[in-house]
Amino acid sequence: MEDLWRLSAEQLAGLIRTKKVSAKEAALAALKRLDAVNPAINAVVDHRPDDVLSQAAEIDAAIARGDNVGPLAGVPVTIKANIDQAGYANTNGLKIQANLIARDNSPVVDNLRKAGAVMLGRTNCPAFCYRWFTTNLVHGNTKNPRDPSVTPGGSSGGAGAAVAAGIGHIAHGTDIAGSIRYPAYVNGVHGLRTTTGRIAAFNAALPERTIGPQISAVSGPLARTIADLRISLAAMSAYDARDPWWVPAPLEGLAVKKRAALCVNPDGLDPVAEVRAAVVDAGKRLERAGWTVEEVTSLPPLKEAAEHQTKLWLGDNYEAQLAAAEREGDPGALACLRGNRSKVFPFDADALSKTLTRRATLVREWSLFLEKYAVLVMPVSGELPFPDQLDTRDAASFARVWHAQLTQIAIPFMGLPGLTVSTGLVGRVPVGVQVVAGRYREDLCLLAGEAIEAGGTPSSVVDPVTG
């Protein structure tokens, strides 16, 4: 069964648990696929076949003993190169961290292992995870397997490219301003940004994070099916005492009416026609699945939320971030920081206090809106996937990129969950929609996502396009 890598995680785990396929066979198939396609896309930047096969052997031995090996029994999963995995460098796309070897696993890696997953390899990200493009001076460029002329996304660009190309069945990603949702969008897969506090976070190899990332940066899964997002969310979100922000919220909340708000042009985004059409089409799919869909033209503030999020992310400790980027010498990281300087610096204690105070108001307004509607469906980006490295061309291109990503930047400021659902292709580049729900209501995102997914052509593995 050489094509095991084509299966969904749910299908593969079922075969392994019932001994129809061994975890070793699944691991060998995954490694073979990695060897076949990764040279063309550079999605995985560190992997050790002996380690992968050793993990698989542990799963097979546990199954032979009759142990419960978890919902991801033997499923190959990739891990983003910005979180701790024992024995591996937490590079965060940086030369200056190339030898920063983690001694312990981050909570999300431990939880995936407990659920039976096999860690296949570590995926690429841009330097400091600042961008919606994935290139750096330590690992090089990642290519979009569907079209190498467009971005693979960022900062979880390696994750999105890997899962789209069949390297692993689930990819771990992180998201502070779209870093899961955008790679899913441009690679034609699905990606779930979780609620702040849903998935425990901690990297012992790195200094404690500043308050902005603490309250808005999250881990989450990317996969080719919504069902795989559901089971990987359950695995990733298990308790870990190392994260003081972790919340024991149920994975399934109270039943609510299937009522969706549809916003084609949120807060002046002015999306291109193909993006507008995808949102309208997603609304029709929901209606056919029994949802009540109401088009809205006004939302609680998004542009303001995006401005505050940018300040919290880049403005807090700005000078230290800029100094580190200058030491690294990464053009993309420097473009990000210098291009946003006038918007985020200076950012003193008074500005921080006012930002966090205003955050409470915006969280309240969004919570009330999402009490009225189970979900909001809107664009992921104002544009189709960008030409690769567009943000470094000139000032106008940089501004164009940041404007198009408005909805991705805004949602983390309120700590809300957001789901990218891939809905199809425009030519050979993907398009999709973003589904947002109230805090800790990932289940509603997934419920709507399943209806949207079922109404179209399923996402499937792609062989990398090389020209």
- Residue 314's alpha-carbon distances to 218, 336, 363, in angstroms, are 16, 9, 20
**Which among 238, 233, 279 is positioned nearest to 380, based on CA atoms?**
279
Cα–Cα distance, 398 to 396 (Å, whole number) = 5
Distance from C-alpha of 321 to C-alpha of 208, rounded to nearest angstrom: 14
> What whole-number distance in Å separates Cα of residue 112 and Cα of residue 71?
10
Return the structure tokens found at 164: 């789209």
Q: What's the count of helices (H) and strands (E) in the chain, helices before strands?
A: 16, 11
Sign of CA dihedral 323, 243, 417, 205: positive
201 Cβ neighbours under 8 A, 6+ residues apart:
83, 106, 107, 108, 217, 218, 219, 243, 245
Q: Is the bond preceding residue 213 a cis peptide, omega within 30 degrees? A: no
Examine the residue annotation and report whether 353 is marked as an active-site residue of this protein.
Answer: no
Q: Choosing from 8, 22, 24, 80, which is the catalytic residue? A: 80
Longest dimension (CA), the chain: 61
Residue 384 has φ and ψ, to the nearest 5°, of -65, 165
22, 179, 216, 381: which one is catalytic? 179
Q: Which residues contact 183 (CB under 8 A, 6 or more apart)?
A: 134, 152, 153, 154, 155, 156, 157, 159, 160, 161, 173, 191, 222
Tell how strand 259-262 and strand 375-378 pair up.
parallel
Is position 179 annotated as part of the catalytic site?
A: yes
Of 427, 462, 385, 439, nearest in space to 182 by CA: 385
Q: Which of 82, 100, 87, 9 is nearest to 54 (CA)?
A: 87
Strand 375-378 to 429-436 pairing: antiparallel
Q: What torsion do the CA atoms of 333, 320, 156, 195 make, to the nearest 10 degrees? A: -140
Torsion angles phi and psi, residue 82, rounded to 5: -120, 10
3-state DSSP percent of the chain in helix, strand and coil, to 5 = 45, 15, 40
Which residue in 8, 155, 216, 459 is the catalytic one?
Answer: 155
Q: What are the catalytic residues?
A: 80, 155, 179
